[in-house]
Amino acid sequence: MTTVLGIEGTAWNLSAAIVDEDDVIAEVTETYRPKTGGIHPREAAQHHALYASDVIERLLREYQDKGYSPQNIDAIAFSQGPGLGACLRTVATSARALALLLDIPLVGVNHCIGHVEIGRWKTPAIDPVVLYVSGGNSQVLGHRAGKYRIFGETLDIGIGNALDKFARGAGLTHPGGPKVEEYARKATSYVKMPYVVKGMDFSFSGLSTAATDALKDNSLEDVCYSFQENAFAMLVEVTERALAHTGKSEVLLAGGVGANMRLREMLDVMCEDRGASFYVPEKRFMGDNGAMIAYTGLLMFDSGTTLPIESSHVDPSFRPDTVDVTWIADEQEVL
Amino acid sequence: MYLQSGAEAVVSLKDGFIIKDRIPKRYRVAELDERIRKERTRAEARLMSDARRCGVPTPIIHDIYDFTIEMEYIDGKPVKYVIDERMCKLMGKLIGRLHSGGIIHGDLTTSNMLYSGDRIYLIDFGLAYVDGSVESRGVDIHVLFQTLESTHPDHEVLIKAFSRGYRITLDMADEVLDRVKEIEKRGRYA
């Protein structure tokens, strides 16, 4: 049995967890909540620095209270990127210190792949097309020839970011996504808005601006509704294209925006019509969490991947398609 | 005869013609769904003809309805099954001509190209539009390169061959190819 301690802290959530092959054994999370506006990168990093040792201490206590000894831990995993540079560096420093202290190897985990792997762990999905939607990231991913390939992604901002930006302009407080969803439920009519899919990629900044403009002549409810309808239809269309192109038959939803019920409904309808299976992990594993980093770290460690401290620098624009997926046996290539 | 169901259309063969029907998507609100299907049907028919005038082989249009196009049947293989360096160079020349004519395909994948009689036919103009900017051309090629990267293990060689062909038919090719590199770095995590 392998046991890995993982730390996540790419943006607003600082979270650490200890997992083994079977389950999450312990998890502790401290969330940075901005007083006004959105995430301030420096404040978020200061938050993580302030709480890092406390989170680890509480995590180890919880672990020991359950009858385990820290000597059982085989490796320390941390989210190496993508994310906010200052936040990543704070988390990496804690991870290195822990690895040195316990004298065990370090594993650098790609944050996006963390979302994918916890979804594969906690749902029956085996080889899914993954729609990963959060504040900063919006990607359609899938495994092929030893890598997690990006089939489509945003050409400008993440969907969560677009929702928050529009919401701030409409006078709603951060995070705007859930509020937009609430208003959208009370809408009475659809307002025409831009729909931008370029091949397998999508773009949200124009939609966000158009929605803000539309507030002049339409109710907030109708604009929220129409914004969601267009933005999510774009995401679902590209997800469906990826299914058609790859021949895969499963869809996995990941990331914080995956909490939106309208997005889930649209994906579910699309999958039903295509005869594909649709999987949504439970909520605690959808947003950023320590367990996803610990578990992906475990898969990497078990397949022989560790990271020497001297080359453990963070990468704010770490691409998931640069990571060798050593823990999945290559499927038969059908081209 | 039923041929293929892609992500957005059902393609069938009837009386020697290809019938492309854009099917409704239940996940989209009806108004948006009809708008997208109508716009794409009309744009596809128009731009297929325009592309042929630029010297890019495309099937000849026979008739158009609200959500349906009737067109010539091309007896060929999708390029993704027969791809090699020579074909990628040919592909590059073709897309260079298309872009010179101010057309952006919008969905350049190796499934949307048919190889027949030593010619590559470009199909599925459903997302095509008219634009002569470096940015749009760059995104068009970025989409193609992503498909090559995600489906063909020897993509680096193929991308180089494509670029060689693209430079032959588009005078500002290098500017576009530089932009492709920039687009790859963008839109990640700001």
B142-167 pLDDT, tens digit per residue, is: 989 988 987 888 899 999 999 999 99
Nearest CA in chain B to A136: B189
B85/B31 same-domain check: no
For residue B185, give the nearest of A121, A252, A317 by alpha carbon.
A317
Split at pLDDT 50, 70, 90, the class of B186 is low
Last residue within a domain, chosen from B28, B43, B72: B72
Split at pLDDT 50, 70, 90, the class of B1 is low
The minimum CA-CA distance between A12 and chain B, rounded to whole Å, is 14
What's the burial of B12, exposed, middle or buried (CB within 10 Å: 0-12/13-18/19+)?
middle
B59/B84 same-domain check: no
Q: Which residues of A touch B185 (CB under 8 A)?
A: 317
Q: Which residues of B touch A237 (CB under 8 A)?
A: 7-8, 25
The reply to whether B158 falls in a domain is yes
CATH number at residue B177: 1.10.510.10
Question: What is the average pLDDT across A89-95?
Answer: 97
Q: Cα angle at A38 between A37 and A41, to 5 degrees?
A: 125
Q: Which residues of A touch B126 (CB under 8 A)?
A: none
B123/B164 same-domain check: yes
The minimum CA-CA distance between A223 and chain B, rounded to whole Å, is 14
A-to-B residue pairs, Cβ atoms closer than 8 angstroms: 115
A4-18 pLDDT, tens digit per residue, is: 999 999 999 999 999
Query: Would the annotation count A81 as a binding residue?
Result: no
Cβ contact A13:A287 at 8 Å = yes
- Quick check: helix, strand or coil at residue B5? strand
Q: Directed axis angle between helix A176-185 and helix A159-169, to 10°?
A: 70
Q: Which residues of B touch A158 (CB under 8 A)?
A: 189
- Which residue range is the domain that position B35 belongs to? 2-72
Q: Give catalytic residues of B, as residue numbers.
A: 107
B3-17 pLDDT, tens digit per residue, is: 566 778 888 999 999
Nearest CA in chain B to A141: B150
Query: Would the annotation count A182 as a binding residue?
Result: no
B57/B93 same-domain check: no
The minimum CA-CA distance between A185 and chain B, rounded to whole Å, is 14
Locate A199 and state its tokens.
Answer: 């091949």
Contact of B28 with chain A, judged by CB distance below 8 Å, is answered with yes
CB contact (8 A) between residue A82 and residue B189: yes
Query: Would the annotation count A295 as a binding residue?
Result: no
Last residue within a domain, chosen from B72, B94, B122: B72
Residue B4: its pLDDT value, please? 62
Residue A34: its pLDDT value, please? 85
B37/B99 same-domain check: no
Query: Would the annotation count A164 as a binding residue?
Result: yes
Q: Which residues of A touch B25 (CB under 8 A)?
A: 233, 237, 270, 273
B168/B91 same-domain check: yes
Per the structure, how many domains does chain B have?
A: 2
CB contact (8 A) between residue B7 and residue A197: no
The reply to whether B67 falls in a domain is yes
The reply to whether B124 falls in a domain is yes
CATH number at residue B22: 3.30.200.20
Q: Which of A149, A154, A200 sits opposite B187 (nearest CB)?
A: A154
Last residue within a domain, chosen from B49, B72, B95: B72
A43-55 pLDDT, tens digit per residue, is: 999 999 999 999 9
- B 138-167 → A contacts, CB under 8 A: 139-140, 142-144, 146-147, 149-153
Contact of B16 with chain A, judged by CB distance below 8 Å, is answered with no
B53/B94 same-domain check: no
If one compares A144 and A74, the residue with the highest pLDDT of the two is A74
The reply to whether B190 falls in a domain is no
The minimum CA-CA distance between A137 and chain B, rounded to whole Å, is 6
Nearest CA in chain A to B78: A335
If one compares B109 and A253, the residue with the highest pLDDT of the two is A253
Locate B189 and state its tokens.
Answer: 């995590």
Residue B82: its pLDDT value, please? 92
A174-199 pLDDT, tens digit per residue, is: 889 999 999 999 999 999 999 998 77
The reply to whether B167 falls in a domain is yes
Q: Where do the domains of chain A lie, and which CATH numbers do they carry?
A: 3-116+285-322 (3.30.420.40), 126-280 (3.30.420.40)
Those residues with Cβ within 8 angstroms of residue A18's Cβ, 6 or more apart along the chain or in another chain: A3, A4, A5, A6, A24, A25, A26, A27, A59, A63, A68, A73, A294
B157/B101 same-domain check: yes
Query: Would the annotation count A289 as a binding residue?
Result: no
Per residue in A94-116, is it b (16+ CB within 10 Å) or e — as a string?
Answer: bbbebbeeeebbbbbbbbbbbbb
Nearest CA in chain B to A81: B189
The minimum CA-CA distance between B84 and chain A, rounded to whole Å, is 13
Q: Which residues of A touch B151 (CB under 8 A)?
A: 144, 245, 335
As separate numbers, helices (DSSP H) first and strands (DSSP E) second, chain A gives: 9, 12
- Nearest-10 Cα torsion for A149, A152, A157, A163: -110
